[in-house]
Chains A and B, each alone.
Chain A
């Protein structure tokens, strides 16, 4: 299959292949054609299930070639467990891949697979050869990495998060590497790496914010404004509009504000509304902030206040 290797960020992307057995065959054939010695790779297994036996085979294929597996990227829980058992680091998400050249070609290769159901044929071998030659040209790779700013940013963020998490404990060289990786993953999950949209103004009625990630607003959100985010929503002010957090189904998203006065709060697929008003609405003065957080607990949206 063409262009599975993306050498700039050392990712071997096998996710387009549908079964674990085929993946292993493919990996084997790629290894035989190129030089992996001394390099470290991230292997993307998509959502295919690998049992521990498969995982061991994968590990030994790489070891025979003299390469190291830095990270296994997979969406399947079983594969994650198998990887952890074999002592490999695991992540659910792919790092950003903005390199235009490779992405275009990758789409082509997916199309071919769907339409033609190719086994490894001669033509595809040649194309793989071409790709390997292209990516082996180190100068081209370096040009690309310097021009595109985006991946550097995300690497910095990821590195910054890892540095922060690692600095929490005294370095313990005796600790099992597997333990360390597990702990790191758990902590990473708590301190998510998602992008945050920072808005430094008040949202009046009619304004909307829609973002894939967390949202942080410095200002009030007037009634009639709507905020929706796949992550958390944080309002440094009075939230009086409609806020919808965890729009992609994430029930762990929360909505925080210095004062929650929202018309409706929506988290994932649940929503709750403000009690009906009985009197002409009295605005509670803004110097009585009561910092609050709304989360789903036991199947309902609850508002927790922070005591001080």
Chain B
């Protein structure tokens, strides 16, 4: 069987690539698929932290390429889900340690054994980014609803369009605040899709629980009752082909809260 190689990229840093990779991978594995995650951010690796697997890394991507170990030895199984493995980046080298051809080789090998290979790309458009997209056939472009992130996403989409091997790329909007969209302080989803002219894969609302989950080393999809977790689960289902409608992000104001707001004038949102 051949798996699907999907690269998660953005151009701009800090918009949620690594968080998305961890969560989408975990959600796909929960649905039964065999998933491999690759961290290509050599020198500034974060994916192992988010997955809580930092202490278990013995061999990294660079070790595999420089043939100090076999590929199987470097794949770290997830704590909770044996379907999910991680190929971590090296913290002690930098992005010039690997070339695009080597990435293609690794993706080809992993494709044979896994349903999904998700590649976490570093920020920027240089060697790191080019390595990450080298072996990919699909792409998820992550952006937040800010002008700077959107401008960078536009550049990235241009670079992806120019690459024939990537047949399909979709947008994931992260850290969306519905209340700010209502007061016109934040760009609406329709505006962003219009500017970028690209299909929408998912909308992830801003959620404080993300910070908690990162610090714990536990992807948010495992947490119950979190909006972001539900959104990531929906994204995973959409990747597998199901047609899930986009969540309604309007804050649900209960009557009790309305009265409270009126009486106590607290800054609840």
Give the B-binding residues of A (Cβ under 8 A). 202, 204-207, 220, 222-224, 279-283, 285-286
Contact = CB atoms under 8 A, between A and B. Distances in A.
Contacts, number: 40
A281 B187 contact: yes
Most buried by A among B154, B186, B194: B154
A225 B125 CA distance: 16
Interface in B165-215: 184-187, 191, 194-195, 197
B147 A206 contact: no
Contacts of A223: 151, 154
Given A202-B197, A204-B161, A280-B184, A222 B191 contact: no
A285 B194 contact: yes
Given A223-B151, A279-B184, 19 more contacts: A202-B197, A204-B154, A204-B155, A204-B157, A204-B158, A206-B155, A206-B159, A207-B158, A220-B197, A223-B154, A280-B184, A280-B185, A280-B187, A281-B147, A281-B187, A281-B191, A283-B191, A283-B195, A286-B194
Interface size class of B (residues with CB under 8 A): 10 to 19
What 6 A-B pairs have minimum CB-CB distances, sorted nearest first? A204-B158, A205-B154, A205-B155, A206-B155, A283-B191, A283-B194
A211 B192 CA distance: 31
A205 B186 contact: no
6 contacts: A204-B161, A205-B152, A206-B155, A223-B154, A280-B185, A282-B191
Interface of B is mostly: helix
B18 to A, nearest CB: 24
Contacts of B186: 280
A202 B158 CA distance: 9
B194 A205 contact: no
A279 B191 CA distance: 14
Contacts of B158: 204-207
A283 B154 CA distance: 15
Contacts of B185: 280
Contacts of B191: 281-283
A207 B155 CA distance: 8
Most buried by B among A205, A220, A286: A205
Contacts of B194: 283, 285-286
Contacts of A281: 147, 187, 191
B147 to A, nearest CB: 7
A18 to B, nearest CB: 51
A57 to B, nearest CB: 60
Contacts of B161: 204
Most buried by A among B152, B155, B185: B155
Most buried by B among A281, A282, A283, A286: A283
Contacts of A285: 194
B12 to A, nearest CB: 12
Contacts of B157: 204
Nearest to A223: B151
Contacts of B155: 204-206, 224
A103 B186 CA distance: 61
Contacts of A283: 191, 194-195
B11 to A, nearest CB: 9
